[in-house]
Each structure stands twice: as C-alpha cells, then as structure tokens.
Chains A and B, each alone.
Chain A
Amino acid sequence: MRKSAADRFRHLFNRSLIFVRNQQNQQHHRLSPIPLSSSPFSSMASDSPFPVTAQNINPQVLKCQYAVRGEIVTLAQNLQKDLQANPGAHSFDEIIYCNIGNPQSLGQQPITFFREVLALCDYPALLDKSETQGLFSADSIERAWQIVDQIPGRATGAYSHSQGIQGLRDTIAAGIGERDGFPCNADDIFLTDGASPAVHMMMQLLTRSEKDGILCPIPQYPLYSASITLHGGHLVPYYLDEATGWGLEISELKKQLEDAKSKGINVRALVVINPGNPTGQVLAEENQRAIVEFCKKEGLVLLADEVYQENVYVPEKKFHSFKKVSRSMGYGDNDLCLVSFQSVSKGYHGECGKRGGYMEVTGFSPDVREQIYKVASVNLCSNITGQILASLIMSPPKVGDESYESFMAEKNAILSSLTKRAKSLEEALNKLEGVTCNKAEGAMYLFPRIRLPEKAIKAAEAEKTAPDAFYCKRLLNATGIVVVPGSGFGQVPGTWHFRCTILPQEDRIPAIVTRLTEFHEKFMNEFRD
C-alpha cells in the first residue's frame, strides 16, 4: 500500500513537472510538445504545427452538433458521479435520463422470444442439446434453426453479404409485404448497424457540395442536421405547425423549396419523420399522399424515417408506410425514389444496444444501387445479431406458435404502458404555467413549448446560454431529470421547447410529475415578470 502510494505520488509529481515544462516550451518554441492528453486546462497554441489539433481537423466535424448527447448529458454524468461520491449532496438521489430514446436503460424488459432466438444463434451448440428444450420455448428453437440454416455455412461469426444475409432479407421483405399489402423485393433491403448509418449513407450519396440541400422538418431529430453537416451539405428547413399538432403543410414545403432554389441551392431530398421525432405526430394518409405527390413533382428523393412505426398511441391514427401510400397511389419504381428507414431500437422491443436496422430503397437505377452496395461493402457488413433481430421484429411469433400469447402479452403491456405514460406526462405538462404540449400520438417523446418570462431570458443571456438550455440545466440541477433543450432540434425563432422521453417506468411517472411541477413553480416564482 505504502509503496503504491509513493509510486503514485512520484508519478503525479513527474507529470506535473512535465506539464509545467510543456507550458514553458509553448512559450518558447513554435514546435511545442502537445500538452498531456486529458489535461483539462491545457492551452493549445493556435498555430500548433501538429497534424491533429482541434484547430485543424475537418471543419465539418467541428461544425456538426448532436444535442441528444451534448452538454446537458455531460452535466448529468458529472452530477451522477457526484451523487455516487457524496450521496445526499443534492435534493434528488438519482438522475433520470429522459434525454434519449433508450428504453432498456430505464428498466424496460426485452421481449423474451427475441432474446431466446438470439441466445441460441449466439451459441448454436445449444441447439444440439436436449437440456435446451427445458430452458427455451419450442418455437424459439425452431426459429433459431431456421436462421442458422439461412446463414451460409451456419457461420454466425462470419462477415455476411454486405447488404445482409439473404435469408434474413427475404424474411424482412415478406414482413414488409404483409404490413403494406404490396410486395417488397429482398434486393431492395440493406441491413445496417441501426438506422443512423443508413441515414449517413444516403446523405453521403446525395451530397456533392454545400450547394446540395436536404429538406428537413424543424423541429427535427439532430441526426439529420449532424449528418448533413458532416457530409458538407445544406439543411433546408421546413417548419412543422405546432398549432395544428405539428402538422406538415405542403404550402410550407413549396415555400421553402422555392426559397432554397432562389438561393442557388439544389434541393435533392425531403426528410419526413413519421411518427415524428421529437414532435410525436402521426401523419394522416391524406397528408402522406400529398407529400408523395410533391416529391414526385419536384423530383426529390423521399427519405422516410419510419423507425417509430410500432409506436402509435391514439386509436384515431394509424401508421402507414410511405411505400404503401405511394404504391396505393399507383406509383412504382419509376415514379419515385423512396428510402424507408427502420430500426430495432424503437417500437415495443427497444433493442438499442444491438444496433440493428435496415433501409428499403426503391426507385433507384441499378448503377446507383451498385454504388450503395459498394459503400456498404467498404464496411464489410452490419453486425449479425442486429441483422437477426431486424428479421425477428419483421416476423414476430404468429397465432398458434407456442410463444405467441406470451409475446403478445409482453408487447401489449409495453405499448399500453407507453400510451398511459405519454398521456399522464402530457397532462401534467399542460397544467404547468405557460406550458403547452401537443399530444404524443406516436414515437417516444413529448415536446412541450415553454413560454419563458422575460426575466428568465435575460438571466440566460447573462449566462451566455440559450433560454431553453438555461431552463433544462436548472431542471437538471434541481430535480435530476435530464431533458434536451428545443434548440438542439430547431424551433420557430423566439419559441422555446424541450424534449422529454416518455420512457421512465410507469411507477416512476408520478414522482417525475411532482418534481417537475415543483421545479416549474419555483422557476416561475423566481423569474415571473
């Protein structure tokens, strides 16, 4: 013990000296050594000659922003460490992460059937053992056999075809066909490590220079703004109308498109997130038809983010895929370039950590599809577990299967609980002074608008922070609840929002509501004009 303490001290001492020496060197030589990594107070010379410094890296990397895991989350993580070190230092005893749609980190249990199949595929030796029958459902064993047999050489640890394992894509295509009532070709499916890399791939394909624009909803999920920036393109915003439940108006699309064109921007695609993130609206079929018509007329690629397709909470709305809508309008491959993104991370299954997803690309010429394949192949393939899971969510147990009833019970319990949570949070938010919140018809988020008093805005300015970020930081420090400021998603200038997931477990919601309400009252008391 004694010895190691001495070692440690010597180490610290030496490193401190080196640090000091580095500082001196920086003053004297252009060729100064880099301050030791991790030092929180290192000062980089702005003319540092080193190949990789924050000053000379790719400016697109510097520019992009991703608020869901930004400053507020770092703050939350520090608070959490602080709580561990000094329990009782704050008025709350834990951090509640409502910043990110990560259901299983908040206690949501995985769907048993899916996990049974995955475990069997991970360790196929189980399939040959009789004891396995006692531990796994019969249909999970059967499904695992099917899947293992679909993998060439039954090699679950091998790189697959860069688009994903053929047999799994067949299953997914059949699932899409069943969902839409229109056939799907397995060659149109590209399996990816979650939906995010698929979005990146499309942005990479579409963006040639900053003159290329992508129409994006505002508010939007910041994956879009970040990936457009990273690939050097131009985000062309269109605003969702908060007053009509975050409605998507074609007139607004037209206006923004014309505006962008007049600035010399070549608009190439339209992003639609349905159900909406962070806004939670589910588009009406009528509206979707108009969007399809608009894209066809203007020659835009329709990038349809449909990762929340299972998350619909109101009986009067149903999810319709853009593929189904366009096909039902009689439009085929030659009429519309359509990309639909799906993910294993959302829905009732919420398997974020698996990084599974796919995109279905239709209306692309063979030579472009070849290019997509080539880009996919540079990364060899997406992870096999995620691929298997993507096939499972598109072909869950059916009536008559041994697991069907328990599967449906698990699924319905999760979805109905999410419905309840969405409703109670929405009601609570709407009761707060100066707060209005649209219903979460779908997805996993509420996006309330807060009318901040002038005094609060002034106080935020004094702290050089956006007013909504100011509010969110206050909320975090007072209650341990982590939400994301609306400025991370974009909002009509002069309005302020935050995004809050509906994912904390149901029994936690009342406590969250109480804490939130108390905080808000205090906040308003402090800042009310």
Chain B
Amino acid sequence: MPPKPLDYESINENVKKAQYAVRGELYLRATELQKEGKKIIFTNVGNPHALGQKPLTFPRQVVALCQAPFLLDDPNVGLLFPADAIARAKQYLSITSGGLGAYSDSRGIPGVRKEVAEFIQRRDGYPRYISSPYSLFFLTLHCVNLFKRVLSLVSNLLDKVINYFILYFSDPELIYLTDGASKAVMQTLNTIIKGEGDGIMVPVPQYPLYSATIALLGGTLVPYYLEETANWGLDTNELRKSITEGRRKGLNVKAMVIINPGNPTGQCLSAENLREVLQFCYDENLVLLGDEVYQTNIYQDERPFISSKKVLMDIGPPLSKEVQLVSFHSVSKGFLGECGQRGGYFEMTNIPPETVDEIYKVASISLSPNVPAQIFMGLMVNPPKPGDISYDQFFRESKGILESLRRRARIMTDGFNSCRNVVCNFTEGAMYSFPQVRLPPKALEAAKQAGKVADVFYCLKLLEATGISTVPGSGFGQKDGVFHLRTTILPAEEEMPAIMDSFKKFNDEFMEQYEDHRGYSRL
C-alpha cells in the first residue's frame, strides 16, 4: 500500500515545523483537566471575555440591530435599544451593500475604512485629511508632470520649502480590514516571504504568531533579543548585531517586526526608541511591521502609546516618504476585547501601488472579511461622543475596564516579585505578565528526566497544582538557560489576590522540593 497523501510523513514540512505555544501542550492539558471537572483559570490567551469581562453595551446593541434589521421597523424597538444605537445601525446598514449578509469589498466596507482613517488622523495629530478629490489631485499631478522640465529649475529651490511641510494623511485606500490582526500579519508576511532565504527580524521573546507564520510560509526568523534587565528594552546595538548575524548566514533580511506595547513582555516603546528603529529600518532597507494591537492597553503615564506612523511622520523626509511601514490593529484587545468577532485592520505606508494591488488580489481570493466584525471596528474607532445618549455608559464601561486592568497589572507584578526565585518587570502595557523563574538545578534535572523543557515542566506542575493555565516562556523564545512563563492579567480583579496566593504557595512548595542551595539557572 503506497503512503497516503495525508500520512504524517507526507504532509507539508512547513506545517510540521510551525509551533504555536499559546494553544499548545499546556492548553491541551488544561482543557483535559477542565473536562475532568477541575476549575481552570485560563491565563494562556489574551481572551478577556472568557474570563468574565462584559462586552461594552453600545457596540453590541448596534451590531444586534444590524443583524436583525427588521427590528428597526418595529414600533417597539425603542423599548430595547437607545436612539443613538438605532441611528448608528441604520447608518451602517446604509453603507453596506446588502447588510451583514453580503460579501463586502475585499478590503472592507469603504465607509468603515474611512472611519479608521479618521481615527488614525485624530490619534496621530495629523489632521490634513483629503477625503475625495483624488481625481482632481492626480489630474493636477499629471499636468505638473508635463511641465516638470520647467518646474525642475525651481524645484531644487523649493525642495527645502517642501521639506518644511510634513505632508501626511491617512488614506482609506491603504487601509484593509481583515478577520483579525493575525490574518493581516499572515497576509503581509505572505507578500514579503519568497522562501527560506528571506529573513524577518522578530523580537525575542515574541508573540508566536510570528514564528509560526514565518515557518508556515517557509521563511527564516532572525531573532533580536529584548533586554530583560532594561525592562525589555529594544537596543539598536542588538538590532545591528542581529541583522549582521542574519546576513552572515546569507539571508536576505527584508522586514522587522516590533510589538508595541510588547507581547508577552508588556513594555511600551518611547518615541526616541521608535525613532531609532525607524532610522535602522531606513538604513538597512527593511519594511517595519508594527504590531500595535495593544495601543489602548497602557498602565502607566510616563510612556503613553505612540504609533510608529506618527513617529515616522514626525521625523519627516526622507524617512517619512521612504520607510515602508505596515501597522496592525484589532478589535480583540483594548477595552473592547471582542476576540470572538475576528476583526482587524492593517494600514500601509509608502508601499508602492503595484504591491498594494497584489495584496488586494490576494485579499479578494478570500472574498471579504466578516462584516459584523467590520462594524465592530467602526464602532471601536468611532465610539459615542459626549452628548450622545450612550456616551456616559460607554465611557463608564470602558474606563472601568482599563482602570481595573491597570490595578491588576500592578497586583500581578507585585505578586510575582514577592515570590521566591521569581523576578518580574512591570506590565507597562498590553495584557501580560512575563515573570522569570529561576529554576534550581534539581528542577532542571527532574524536567530532563520527564523529557520536558524546564519551563514546560514548571508550568505543567503549576497547572496540576493550582489550575492556573499559563504558557511557558520557551513558546515565546528566551535566552538560553533562563526560564519564564506568560500569564495574562485578565482574571477578574476580585479573584486576583487568591490566584496570586495560590501561585505563591505552589512556587514555595516547588522551590522547597527542588532547591538544594547549590545554585540556580542564571539570571
């Protein structure tokens, strides 16, 4: 009998190579335990609603109304829905072609993309948005082109003047809505990666979406290490070292990923740091992929979120016109936390139109992103405004979530730092705590005997003892010989002290069992 096409030996090697720890061994064991009736606290995925966070009322009302448009004609609809939700639903239905049940434009509903563009402008403080007169615009360009010989005489002189104006607007045509940011990252990397000769620089520790996608697409991951002792700082010397190393191996290093705020590491990048990164990308000719899905999850005031795009535009030419940037955002994070909707977008800056066309073509093969999530995206970037009926409630709900997350970030960091042989940087942003656990040699030995990576061993023990389902640091990448785990900061605030107590108790017992005072895995 010949080997069957789907026998394990004969499937795509890249599929086998890909690893995705967030839903790996630990998670599977946790689901098993849950089936057996054990109470599991899932802190493995940034999945707020699964841990009791309530969806914001207003977006859910609007989407429900779009879902059941016949309600809009019912005289009693006002008993269940506020007027602004009704108005908003009508407005969304008017900009779709066939409501939530029709494929949209493969790039997303134009009206929602416009809302996203306006959001980006408000966020970044570049209000010079031109909404429609592109045709006029290009006509003018064309005329100017004809006269360019004449103009070239004065253009040199005018160059300096022009450089003075930072010309920037966010263009809905360069914003594509997707089924979540993960799809957006996959689409972008698929466009970039030709084969294993192509390298993508990725921070380590990283969110394993990157390593998994690069493996699936047959590219090569070029790691750069974040500095744990500098609160997971991103150091340009390390970037240089990393790219040199990649090139030494013969790789064509084409892109660099930053995750800001960091996942799993929680650091927020400063404007200064982002400037260095952009300069580096310019010098080294890299596309910058800016994963900014946690941009509203900020838990300190010293380093507010700054988008890569804003920094790029602040720098001005030549960088602002040359560095190729793709930024990602999602409805799954922030205070919305609507993971199950699968909504996201990516914005392209300085990508040539021919490439944009190719990306459009590939998007069109999947027909369109799901429409309900596009509406959620619109609602996220364009929430109720002061004076709207739902504004107070929306504001109260979203503020409540963010303030509670801020407190939880603190409780968790402090909790970990109070444990024996555990050190943890403060979660400045995002949704995760990433403590380092210094494992005694005896524990390393025991892990080896069990055929497990040491941090997997530790996390499995933690799961069995406490029901806390975490992800071992090895799933994200870490320096040799150091061990971490990632937890989300999402368990309900009132449960947090108990969770930290049970962690501490477990850790104490673990250390008691394995410590023999000879030394530790190094810090």
Contact = CB atoms under 8 A, between A and B. Distances in A.
A380 B322 contact: no
Interface string B13-32: 11110111011000000010
B367 interface: yes
Nearest to B324: A52
Contacts of A423: none
Contacts of B521: none
A118 B68 contact: yes
A63 to B, nearest CB: 10
A206 B11 contact: yes
A170 interface: no
A492 interface: no
Contacts of B236: none
A18 B162 contact: yes
A12 B358 CA distance: 27
Contacts of B285: 49-51
A194 B372 contact: no
Interface stretch (A246-254, A308-316, A382-390, A433-441): A382-390
Contact of B352 (A41, A53, A105): A53
B371 A52 contact: no
Given A7-B128, A368-B8, A374 B159 contact: no
A378 B18 contact: yes
Nearest to B354: A54
Interface in A265-305: 268-269, 299-301
A62 B372 CA distance: 30
B167 A17 contact: no
A167 interface: no
A157 B55 contact: yes
B327 to A, nearest CB: 14
B174 A37 contact: yes
B198 to A, nearest CB: 9
A41 B173 CA distance: 16
B315 interface: no
Contact of A54 (B7, B67, B183, B352): B352
B171 A37 contact: yes
A365 interface: yes
B237 interface: no
Contact of B52 (A10, A21, A69, A153): A153
B283 to A, nearest CB: 11
Residue of A52, A108, A367, A382 ringed by the most chain B CB atoms within 10 A: A52
B77 interface: yes
A51 B191 CA distance: 11
A383 B348 contact: no
B63 to A, nearest CB: 5
A301 B7 CA distance: 11
A200 B49 CA distance: 29
Nearest to B60: A123
A42 interface: yes
Contacts of A161: 31
Given A120-B64, A122-B63, A19 B192 contact: no
Interface in A143-197: 152-153, 155-162, 193-194, 196-197
Given A102-B103, A384-B340, A53 B321 contact: no
B355 A52 contact: yes
B194 interface: yes
B503 to A, nearest CB: 21
Given A58-B193, A206-B12, A131 B368 contact: no
A256 B25 CA distance: 43
Given A53-B352, A193-B179, A205 B339 contact: no
B453 interface: no
Contact of B80 (A126, A156, A227): A126
Contacts of B103: 100, 102, 105, 345, 352-353
Contacts of A242: none
> Which one of A21, A107, A197 has the highest number of Cβ atoms from chain B below 10 Å of its Cβ?
A21
Interface stretch (A28-36, A460-468, A515-523): A28-36
Interface string A65-97: 110111000000000000000000000000000
Contacts of B3: 299
B338 interface: yes
Interface stretch (A109-117, A446-454, A482-490): A109-117
A480 to B, nearest CB: 15
B216 interface: yes
B11 A368 contact: yes
B340 A158 contact: yes
B293 to A, nearest CB: 12
Q: How large is the interface on B (under 10, 10 to 19, 20 to 34, 35 or more residues)?
A: 35 or more
A412 interface: no
Interface stretch (B131-139, B224-232, B466-474): B131-139
B468 to A, nearest CB: 16
A139 B148 CA distance: 70
B99 interface: yes
Contacts of A132: 80
Contacts of B332: 159
A204 B100 CA distance: 29
Given A15-B137, A155-B340, A122 B354 contact: no
Place the interface of chain A in its size category: 35 or more
Contacts of B128: 7, 11
B289 to A, nearest CB: 10
Given A53-B352, A66-B364, A115-B67, A14 B287 contact: no
A301 B4 CA distance: 8
A135 interface: yes
A257 to B, nearest CB: 13
A44 B356 CA distance: 13
Nearest to A73: B364
A135 B75 CA distance: 10
A230 interface: yes
Interface string B63-97: 11101111100101101100000000000000011
B449 interface: no
A38 B64 contact: no
B451 interface: no
Interface string B151-180: 110010011001001010001011000011
A353 B74 contact: no
A69 B355 contact: no
A499 interface: no
Contact of A135 (B52, B80, B151): B80
Contact of A37 (B151, B286, B349): B349
Nearest to B187: A61
A102 B102 contact: yes
Contact of B350 (A34, A118, A153, A205): A34
A17 B194 contact: no
B121 interface: no
A351 B104 CA distance: 12
A379 interface: yes
Contact of A34 (B74, B101, B321, B337): B321
A65 B357 CA distance: 12
25 contacts: A15-B167, A17-B151, A34-B351, A39-B353, A41-B138, A50-B322, A51-B287, A52-B355, A57-B194, A58-B190, A65-B361, A66-B365, A100-B103, A105-B102, A122-B372, A156-B49, A158-B48, A197-B366, A206-B11, A268-B10, A299-B4, A353-B104, A367-B8, A378-B209, A381-B340
The 5 A-B pairs at the shortest CB distance, nearest first, are namely: A54-B354, A353-B371, A105-B98, A123-B64, A119-B68
Given A40-B138, A157-B339, A299-B4, 18 more contacts: A11-B167, A15-B167, A21-B162, A35-B352, A126-B64, A156-B340, A204-B14, A208-B11, A227-B365, A230-B190, A301-B4, A351-B101, A352-B101, A353-B100, A353-B368, A374-B15, A380-B342, A384-B341
Interface of A: 7-8, 10-21, 23-24, 33-42, 44, 49-54, 56-59, 61-62, 64-66, 68-70, 100, 102-108, 110, 112, 115-116, 118-120, 122-123, 125-126, 129, 131-132, 134-135, 152-153, 155-162, 193-194, 196-197, 200, 204-208, 222-223, 226-227, 230, 268-269, 299-301, 337, 345, 350-356, 363-365, 367-368, 371, 374-375, 377-386
